[in-house]
Amino acid sequence: MIDNKVFKTIFISLLVIVSLANCIGYVFDSFFYGMDDLPTGEYLFSSTSPDGSYTLKTYKVENCLGTAIRGELTANSKTGQPKNIYWSTDFSSAYVVWNNASLITINGVMLDLSEDHIYDSRDESDVEYSLVKTKEQ
């Protein structure tokens, strides 16, 4: 038979381990979720590609990390849902330049829409992007 003190020690230890695992999971989920789960934010403006095939809508989002910019792309020739392609907590405004029909630069980050590139500043090591100089740099 297990001693009552040993049982309480094992029970409390397991309770602490499970609680810590839940806390770590909550923090991880809060900071590293997908691009589809971003908050909507306040609409800033939209910009259409030179050939009219894409429209990018930009939004300013106030969150616990400060102000962020979200870029939502719509393919005008398709009936699919808009797709988040840009998220950065480093900016409070958006500067958008269409380099051509499928290359767009948002706040100095160039994205190739024909190759489904996205930019997510929360995890820059896993997303495909290239930095370019803007007028402010």
pLDDT band at residue 31 using 50, 70 and 90 as cut-offs = low
Residue 83 to residue 101: CA distance in whole angstroms = 17
Bridge pairing between strands 54-63 and 42-48:
antiparallel
Tokens 């230890």 correspond to 13
To the nearest whole percent, how much of the chain has pLDDT over 70? 82
The full set of domain ranges for the chain reads: 1-31, 36-131
Residue 54 to residue 77: CA distance in whole angstroms = 8
Sign of the four-CA dihedral 14, 18, 21, 27: negative
Question: Average pLDDT, whole number, for the chain?
Answer: 82
